[in-house]
Amino acid sequence: MEQTSPRSPEVSRAIRNATLSAIVGTAVEWYDYYLYATAAATIFNKLFFPSYDQLTGTLLAFASFAIGFFVRPIGSVVFGHIGDRMGRKFVLITTLLLMGGSTTAMGLLPSYETVGIWAPILLCVLRALQGLGSGAEYAGAVLMVVEYAPPQRRGLYGAMPYIGVALGLLLSLVTFRLSSLLSHEQFEEWGWRIPFLLSAVVVAIGMIFRTTLKETPVFRALKERNKRARAPVKEVFRTSLRPLLCAWGARLGDNSLAYVYESFVIVYVTKQLGLPRDMIVTALMFSTTAQFVTVPGFGWLSDKIGRKPVYIGGALLSGLSVFPFFYLLQTRNVVLIYLGLFVVSSIAKTMMTSAQSPWLAEMFPARVRYSGFALAREVTSPIAGGLAPMIAVALLAAGNGSPHLVAWYVVALAVITGVAVLLGPETRGVPMHDVGDEPDRSPPAPLPASAPAR
């Protein structure tokens, strides 16, 4: 099979469409997640768990939110297998419809007052479907871009889907805040449904991009040469166990750090420091918006110096800056709070997430790449995503309101991430085709002398 030159108009157009598709799809995924988290904290306890007191109802609402994290590993296995057998494009379309359709359906759910116990049951089922789709959405979005991108720019293009995370957060905050402008009665009766129903619009836009995509040249080569893995998940464990374990260690740390910086911080600032919720949410919106610049910037940097130095640098910065970060929060000075969030979220966290995408994509052989990426990213989600904020809150209570135990927890997470990445392979410049398939036509970026063979 002849591969078109990466500089041809056809490939340039394919890269552009794949990148836009990845950003939109990732935005849908995280719009859904952030929207559900916001609703769980504000309205779902009243609509779906009203037979309990307010605190218990809120805890049950957050428990339903956690369901999505525990289902994600299942989604990574199921859709990772399909992605390696049937193609990246098929899974991307399926997961987009599954996630967006579940979110839209939530906006149509009857309340507990209308159908009784069926209301929370249906909510939990839809939340599980949401998590099932998201278990492979991001992996496919990154692979669709990276397997098209020229070797010397895979870091830049591979980081771009993460912009969708920032976009999803901003969209959820804006739509929910606009709906909250309605009267209290209107919001509880029907206004809360609007942000969920609007998910259908974003899904429609994503479908326009994804249905016009062509399958990646890497997967087409595998299919034409009949080299697709029969049991991709089993093959990942047999041939790529060490990289997988390193990826789990890295994700256990950096994923937890993200939730401490962007979820626990709201609790700490509002409950412990007594500052307005709108102030910290606006500050988070600022740091999130800055990621539109820092994400591609650090992706580009990983093309120049390697994935590992950028990834480890982000972990080190997280560990070193956490004590100054909490000090800046305690000043209650708005400017200093903005500065602190910019350092830990827009820079330290983003260094890790920007380098992570190409690192995971390049870490596994093409025939099991979807399964490997999805497993590497999602298996630790229940622990890192679901438990990190609760652990941080428990440590805050154990410290009698002082954040020093939380800060040491962050330091430990940063060490776990740094060590795991250090033990993993440097992947910059590795070929994306398996041995025996058509190689990349563009010369790869030079590998560091210490880079091990995959």
The CA–CA distances, whole Å, from 62 to 69, 134, 243, 330, 390 equal: 11, 18, 33, 27, 11
Mean of the pLDDT values across residues 201-205?
A: 86
Range of the domain at 108: 11-423
In a domain, 443, yes or no: no
Tell me how far apart the alpha carbons of residues 384 and 247 are, in angstroms, rounded to a whole number. Answer: 13
Domain contains 132: yes
Inform me whether the pLDDT recorded for 357 exceeds 90. Answer: yes
What are the tokens at 378?
A: 């999602």
Give the residue carrying structure tokens 């099979």.
Answer: 1
Given a cut of 50, is residue 453 above it in pLDDT?
Answer: no
What confidence category does residue 211 fall into, taking pLDDT thresholds of 50, 70 and 90?
A: confident
Residue 453 lies in a domain: no
CB–CB of 240/368 below 8 Å? yes
**Which CATH number covers residue 33?**
1.20.1250.20
**CA pair distance 155, 346, nearest whole angstrom:** 18
**Which amino acid makes up residue 290?**
A
Report DSSP state, residue 440.
P
- Least confident range from 20-24, 205-209, 210-214, 433-437: namely 433-437
**What is the spatial distance between Cα 104 and Cα 399, in angstroms, rounded to a whole number?**
41
Residue 87 lies in a domain: yes
> Does some domain include residue 303?
yes
Contact 216, 143 (CB under 8 A): yes
* Mean pLDDT rounded to a whole number for the chain: 84
- The whole-number average pLDDT for the span 392-420 is 89
Residue 24: the pLDDT is 84
Taking residues 372-384, report their average pLDDT.
Answer: 87
Six-digit token pair at 8? 């041809």
Exposure string of 336-351, with b = 16+ CB inside 10 Å and e = fewer, is bbbbbbbbbbbbbbbb
pLDDT at 38 over 80: no
Banded pLDDT at 205 (limits 50, 70, 90): confident
The closest of 111, 134, 131 to 50, measured between CA atoms, is 111
pLDDT at 421 exceeding the cut of 90: yes
- Examine the pLDDT at 426 and tell me if it is beyond 70: yes
Counting the structural domains of the chain, the total is: 1
50-73 per-position pLDDT tens digit = 666 555 655 666 667 678 888 889
Residue 77: inside a domain: yes
Q: What is the mean pLDDT of residues 317-343?
A: 94
Identify residue 90 by its one-letter amino acid code. F
Report yes or no on 404 lying in a domain: yes
Look at residue 446 and tell me if it is in a domain.
no
Q: pLDDT band at 178, cuts 50/70/90? A: confident
pLDDT value at residue 170: 84
pLDDT in tens, 295-310: 999 999 999 999 999 9
CB-based contacts of 241, cutoff 8 Å, min separation 6: none
DSSP helix/strand/coil, 112: helix
pLDDT band at 427 (very low <50, low <70, confident <90, very high): very high
Q: Is the pLDDT of residue 447 over 50?
A: no
Q: What is the pLDDT of residue 416?
A: 92
Residues 373/143, Cβ–Cβ less than 8 Å: yes
49 vs 251 pLDDT, higher one: 251
> What's the pLDDT band for 6 if we cut at 50, 70, 90?
very low
